A and B are shown apart, each in its own frame.
Chain A
Amino acid sequence: MDWLTTVDHKKIGILYLIAGGFFFLVGGLEALLIRIQLWKPLNDFVSADTYNELITMHGTTMIFLAAMPMLFALMNAVVPLQIGARDVAFPFVNALGFWTFFFGAVLLNVSWFTSTGAPAAGWTAYAPLSGPAFSTGHGMDYYVLGLQIAGIGTLIGGINFLVTIINMRAPGMTFMRMPMFTWASFITSALILFAFPALAVGLAALMFDRVFDANFFDPNNGGNAVLWEHIFWIFGHPEVYILILPAFGVISEVISTFSRKRLFGYSSMVFATILIGFLGFMVWAHHMFTTGLGPVANALFSIATMLIAVPTGIKIFNWIFTMWGGSIKFTSANLYAVGFIPTFVMGGVTGVMLAAAPADFQYHDTYFVVAHFHYVIVGGLILGIFSGLHYWWPKMFGRVLNETLGKWTFWMFYIGFHLTFFIQHFLGLLGMPRRIWTYLDGLGFNEMNLISTIGAIMMGIGTIMFFLNVVITNAKPQNAADDPWEDGRTLEWTIPSPPPEYNFKQTPLVRGYDAYWKEKMDGHKGMTPAEPIGSIHMPSPSILPFTMSLGLFITGFGLMYSRDWTFITEHIGFYVAGLGLLITFGSMFLRSVYDDHGFHIEPEELEDKGVKA
């Protein structure tokens, strides 16, 4: 019950981690089923329809329900601590963001258990394939409404982080003293703010097409299918940077800590991050080179895309220069971070190849593209998340993950990853198309697909080893030191592990970049406080975020079946949808009418150790 009503950012971070971790397993299972289907030619392990459902749900789950929430988990757990804040700007909204994501995710996955099955039009849901004419049944309805609800959560989460970082930094924490992970979270949140509303409109239009017979994307009624591609990718391309920038932030923190050196070129890192975020919005049409936009558009988007390699290259070199001459410790977290660098470079190089429009006509819709984005997303983002989890686990849970097992996990996952996806570049160059459920014998695809499947199984074993590590670690007592790596540089390492509910007994005074490191170098034991010890105001827990999101879940469910359920009267689905909206708006009304006065923690209660996790 405590977990249903909590508004504490650290607990919400843990909720995001549990939910995101669960959907990571689901998405991984879907991936394994895909790879088992493809391990030999003319396999009939799953049917073609099931295969379409699997690839759609694998992509959707991994992007929206696994990667994003795990990043939000790290951001929630770390960002307020890194800037010396007691909480996020809107704790209530933070909880609401989690619950809307959660109920949206559940709604999407309910589709597996319905008679018409899961969505099967690909994660990009290209119209008119995703429209009512070709995607009959309710699969795509689940996609549209599930993502719509989950998207609300992401959007308000992004606004929350922006306000937190702008308004709630500790005294002395100027923008150019902010840790890189906080910077990355800041830019990511800005991208979320400007990208997700476009997706919301696209999903709403598709929903209108499907549920209310609108004509947005149906060419027979004057609609325009390419319009969907534009709307989807003006969201979808920034989404890639929404995912990767926080991973960049993690890598910057980890490499700097375990090299025992200040991050090389900090200010160039900041501006590179901003530039990547900006350019991320300028390049959406590189997903549409073969759509027929014409040579001028293709050339412009091609050049804009290649430009992104410049700030990314700056970051890569800065990480290498940070390690240069440092006293490097290869902890598990650092293994992931160091492993990230060459992997991401490879993903970036194939990205430049794909950005060349004429070459893209060859690579388009082959496994080369699949290999490219898995190098970026798994080899970039997932390695970044693993690195961050190993690094901040003691701060989040008060226990250090097992290092030996962590290193074994890394090698298992890392080798498995390259085995799976490196070879897919060649499969693509040989012409194996993506999204097909099987292939003929004698095309030269057999051995490479088998190797790829073996690699995928190794990644699966690696993931299980990580969860094993979590279980083993969880059995240990909470005995992590405040600064378990002993080389912590930023504010989160100055407070107990796990931190108390109020984070900082006294708001710290920040005197430079790498605030804690600076105090250590000046021979101080800890931070200088910026305020006297006093009573601390905390927001009270609330069930309303849960009920608001539950209402949206019911609404989505009702809308979908608005035409099917006729057992009492016609259009019963609309009544269900109305009931759901009533719950949501009722909760909003309650929230606005009853003021939350919160509670105070008095100075004499401040000595006890952290929240139970």
Chain B
Amino acid sequence: MSTHSHAEGHLPHEPEKATLEGRNKVLGFWLFLGGETVLFGTLFSAFLALRHQVLDGPQPNELFKLSLVAAATAILLTSSLTSVFAIQALHNHNVKALINWLIVTVVLGLGFLGLEIYEFYHYVHEGHGFTTSAFSSSFYTLVGFHGAHVAFGIFWISSIIGQLMKKGLTVVTAPKVYVAGMYWHFIDVVWVFIFTVVYLMGKVV
């Protein structure tokens, strides 16, 4: 089935969907993202139910610094774009460009994560710890789950970069790249909701 087309020159246009295994992976990952949507949906619901329970801790509009969050948002959204460039390189069978764009994506992801860690550190000094109030618990859980997803994505894509360097682009590695790209977009979309529901709404009310 797949053994004869491993050489790079003979890759089909969409190598991620060339084998049954690849198609299974892509479909399975779409479904997995459906489950992740429920996961984040539940986290958002919990946050929305508890976000006014600040007790003695700071109010969201005293706490949040939108300039910092806006910078983080810009970085993460850009990384989504660079991951699109990576997938384009995949479809052009340009391994070098693919690896480079993935590296850019990972670096941007690290930048986002750094800002988030700084942000959390800052909030804790403002008296907004994990155990301060129901608001703080649900805030750190929701945003922290997202941050953990970003961190996992960074490890994952890095390991894929390593595999691409060693094995090149094949019908085995292509679905992995494609699926990781889907994951990265998903993380971005979730962040857009967090930016709106947590930070913007927190500033308004």
Asked if A pairs with B, the answer is yes
CB within 8 A of B137: which of A196, A216, A230, A589?
Answer: A216
CB within 8 A of B39: which of A160, A162, A168, A197?
Answer: A197
> Which residues of B sit under 8 angstroms from A223, Cβ to Cβ?
50, 53, 134, 137
Whether A564 sits at the interface, judged by CB under 8 Å, is no
Q: In the assembly, what is the distance between CA of A436 and CA of B172, in Å?
A: 58
> Which residues of B sit under 8 angstroms from A231, Cβ to Cβ?
42, 45-46
- Contacts A198-B42, A231-B42; A163 near B28 (Cβ below 8 A): yes
Q: How many residues of chain B get a CB closer than 8 Å to chain A's CBs?
A: 40
Which residue of B has the minimal Cβ distance to A218? B134
Whether A533 sits at the interface, judged by CB under 8 Å, is no
The answer to whether A89 touches B130, judged by C-beta atoms less than 8 angstroms apart, is no
The answer to whether A212 touches B159, judged by C-beta atoms less than 8 angstroms apart, is no
Q: Which of A50-58, A200-208, A463-471 contacts B (4 or more CB under 8 A)?
A: A200-208
CB within 8 A of A212: which of B38, B43, B130, B163?
Answer: B130
> Which residues of B sit under 8 angstroms from A198, Cβ to Cβ?
38-39, 41-42
Contact pattern, B 107-134, Cβ under 8 Å of A = 1, otherwise 0 = 0000000000000000000000011011
Q: Please classify the interface of chain B as helix (H, G, I), strand (E, B), loop, or mixed, using the class held by over half of its residues.
A: helix
Contact residues, B44-72 vs A (CB, 8 A) = 45-46, 49-50, 53-55
CB within 8 A of B43: which of A162, A201, A215, A218?
Answer: A201
Q: In the assembly, what is the distance between CA of A216 and CA of B39, in Å?
A: 16
> Which residues of A sit under 8 angstroms from B167, Cβ to Cβ?
595
The answer to whether A216 touches B138, judged by C-beta atoms less than 8 angstroms apart, is yes
- Contacts A212-B130, A215-B131; A224 near B39 (Cβ below 8 A): no
> Which residues of B sit under 8 angstroms from A537, Cβ to Cβ?
1
The answer to whether B137 touches A227, judged by C-beta atoms less than 8 angstroms apart, is no
> Which residues of A sit under 8 angstroms from B45, Cβ to Cβ?
230-231
The answer to whether A222 touches B50, judged by C-beta atoms less than 8 angstroms apart, is yes
CB of B40 to closest CB in A, whole Å: 9
Whether B34 sits at the interface, judged by CB under 8 Å, is yes
Whether B8 sits at the interface, judged by CB under 8 Å, is no
Whether B197 sits at the interface, judged by CB under 8 Å, is no
> Which of A160, A195, A223 neighbours the largest number of chain B CB atoms within 10 Å of its CB?
A223
CB within 8 A of B46: which of A193, A216, A221, A593?
Answer: A216
The answer to whether B131 touches A222, judged by C-beta atoms less than 8 angstroms apart, is no
The answer to whether A593 touches B163, judged by C-beta atoms less than 8 angstroms apart, is yes
Contact pattern, B 1-44, Cβ under 8 Å of A = 1, otherwise 0 = 10000000000000000001001100110011011101101110
The answer to whether A90 touches B28, judged by C-beta atoms less than 8 angstroms apart, is yes
- Contacts A90-B24, A213-B131, A221-B133; A194 near B46 (Cβ below 8 A): no
Q: In the assembly, what is the distance between CA of A214 and CA of B43, in Å?
A: 14
The answer to whether A227 touches B50, judged by C-beta atoms less than 8 angstroms apart, is yes
> Which residues of B sit under 8 angstroms from A174, Cβ to Cβ?
none
CB of A223 to closest CB in B, whole Å: 5
Whether A176 sits at the interface, judged by CB under 8 Å, is no
The answer to whether A214 touches B137, judged by C-beta atoms less than 8 angstroms apart, is yes
> Which residues of A sit under 8 angstroms from B35, Cβ to Cβ?
155, 159, 193-194, 196-197
Q: In the assembly, what is the distance between CA of A201 and CA of B36, in Å?
A: 11
Q: In the assembly, what is the distance between CA of A159 and CA of B36, in Å?
A: 12
CB of B30 to closest CB in A, whole Å: 9
> Which residues of A sit under 8 angstroms from B41, Cβ to Cβ?
198
Whether B141 sits at the interface, judged by CB under 8 Å, is yes
The answer to whether A592 touches B176, judged by C-beta atoms less than 8 angstroms apart, is yes
Whether A166 sits at the interface, judged by CB under 8 Å, is yes
Whether A43 sits at the interface, judged by CB under 8 Å, is no
The answer to whether B46 touches A227, judged by C-beta atoms less than 8 angstroms apart, is yes
CB of B25 to closest CB in A, whole Å: 8
- Contacts A160-B28, A163-B24, A194-B34; A222 near B46 (Cβ below 8 A): no
The answer to whether B46 touches A214, judged by C-beta atoms less than 8 angstroms apart, is no
Q: In the assembly, what is the distance between CA of A200 and CA of B46, in Å?
A: 13
The answer to whether A163 touches B172, judged by C-beta atoms less than 8 angstroms apart, is no
Q: In the assembly, what is the distance between CA of A84 and CA of B109, in Å?
A: 43
Q: In the assembly, what is the distance between CA of A196 and CA of B137, in Å?
A: 22
The answer to whether A215 touches B134, judged by C-beta atoms less than 8 angstroms apart, is yes
> Which of A90, A194, A214, A227 neighbours the largest number of chain B CB atoms within 10 Å of its CB?
A214
Whether A167 sits at the interface, judged by CB under 8 Å, is yes
Query: Contact residues of A with B, CB < 8 Å?
Result: 89-90, 155, 159-160, 162-163, 166-168, 193-198, 200-202, 204-205, 208-209, 212-216, 218, 221-224, 227, 230-231, 234, 537, 589, 592-593, 595
Query: Contact residues of B with A, CB < 8 Å?
Result: 1, 20, 23-24, 27-28, 31-32, 34-36, 38-39, 41-43, 45-46, 49-50, 53-55, 130-131, 133-138, 141, 156, 159-160, 162-163, 167, 172, 176
17 A-B pairs, CB-CB below 8 angstroms? A167-B20, A167-B23, A168-B24, A196-B35, A197-B42, A198-B41, A201-B46, A202-B42, A205-B141, A212-B130, A214-B131, A214-B137, A222-B50, A222-B53, A224-B49, A592-B163, A595-B167
